[in-house]
């Protein structure tokens, strides 16, 4: 699917006080990379095993960084590497999915189908449609790798993007998109897109459904229910009510 036609992104959640706070106050937690369940997330590699700089590259290095020898490049590498690591480790990351029908996400992140899935609107003008903040995750078998000279020369934003939006192919089933706010790791931020609907898991207890119904009463948030497909593995999502005060 072309990214421009992705008009919703989804967050799978158990029903707890933090989830109710998202709905009631339109704010959500942005995690630091160190909080992820994948220890390989945001790793990267600098390839130092290459030849000497060309005369053109050396001229660039001397003009930009004031270095005039291949040996001095390593000093700059260490400095830039630390800057990138600090930037990455302090980033605030919100993980979303492009699908509300993912059985594994319902099981892993929505309390074995007892939780909910929050649908956020992605449209021109909000952060979910701004690729400076929100992008589809790319999946690769190896860490993002940078030639040590290219690492210095490459636009810093481009380097960080590759690191923050790359994951192992084992996670591809999540169909993940990430919202990334610089230096906001471990903080609560305003939601990056309006809540369009809340989908109740097929095992969501009636008491939790009632709590959320009361919470969204009088808003334009739609309520939906997931149920089992007949004769095949999957879920069907249907509108169950409109809200009125």
Domain count, the chain: 1
Give pLDDT tens digits for 90-99.
Answer: 999 999 999 9
Q: What is the pLDDT of residue 191?
A: 98
- Is pLDDT above 70 for 20? yes
Which residues, 6 or more positions from 167, have their beta carbon under 8 angstroms from its beta carbon? Answer: 38, 40, 41, 137, 138, 139, 140, 176
* Structural domain range at position 115: 3-41+91-143+162-241
Give pLDDT tens digits for 102-126.
Answer: 999 999 999 999 999 999 999 999 9
| Residue 160: band (very low, low, confident or very high) from pLDDT cuts 50, 70, 90 | confident
Looking at the domain assignment, is residue 228 inside a domain? yes
3-class SS of residue 172: helix
Looking at the domain assignment, is residue 138 inside a domain? yes
Q: Where are the alpha helices (DSSP H) in 32-190?
A: 55-65, 70-90, 103-109, 148-153, 156-164
- Rounded Cα distance, 191 and 168, in Å: 27
Give pLDDT tens digits for 24-42.
Answer: 999 999 999 888 877 767 7
Average pLDDT, the chain: 87
Q: Provide the 8-state DSSP code for 203.
A: T
Q: What is the pLDDT of residue 37?
A: 73
């Amino acid at each position: 699917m072309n990214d421009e036609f992705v008009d919703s992104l989804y967050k799978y959640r158990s029903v707890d006080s933090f989830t109710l706070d998202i709905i009631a106050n339109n704010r959500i937690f942005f995690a630091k990379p160190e909080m992820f369940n994948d220890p390989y997330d945001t790793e990267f590699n600098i390839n130092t095993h290459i030849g000497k700089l060309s005369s053109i590259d050396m001229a660039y290095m001397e003009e930009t960084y004031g270095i005039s020898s291949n040996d001095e490049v390593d000093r700059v590498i260490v400095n830039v590497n630390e800057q990138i690591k600090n930037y990455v480790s302090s980033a605030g990351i919100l993980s979303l999915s492009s699908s509300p029908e993912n059985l594994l996400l319902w099981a892993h992140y929505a309390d074995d189908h007892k939780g909910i899935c929050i649908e956020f609107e992605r449209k021109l003008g909000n952060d979910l449609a701004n690729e400076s903040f929100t992008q589809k995750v790319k999946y690769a078998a190896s860490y993002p790798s940078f030639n040590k000279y290219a690492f210095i020369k490459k636009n810093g934003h481009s380097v960080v993007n590759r690191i923050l939006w790359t994951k192992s192919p084992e996670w591809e089933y999540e169909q993940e998109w990430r919202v990334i706010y610089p230096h906001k790791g471990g903080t609560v931020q305003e939601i990056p897109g309006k809540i369009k609907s809340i989908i109740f898991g097929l095992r969501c207890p009636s008491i939790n459904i009632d709590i959320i119904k009361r919470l969204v009463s009088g808003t334009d948030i739609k309520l939906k229910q997931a149920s089992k497909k007949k004769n095949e593995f999957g879920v069907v999502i249907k509108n169950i009510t409109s809200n009125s005060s």
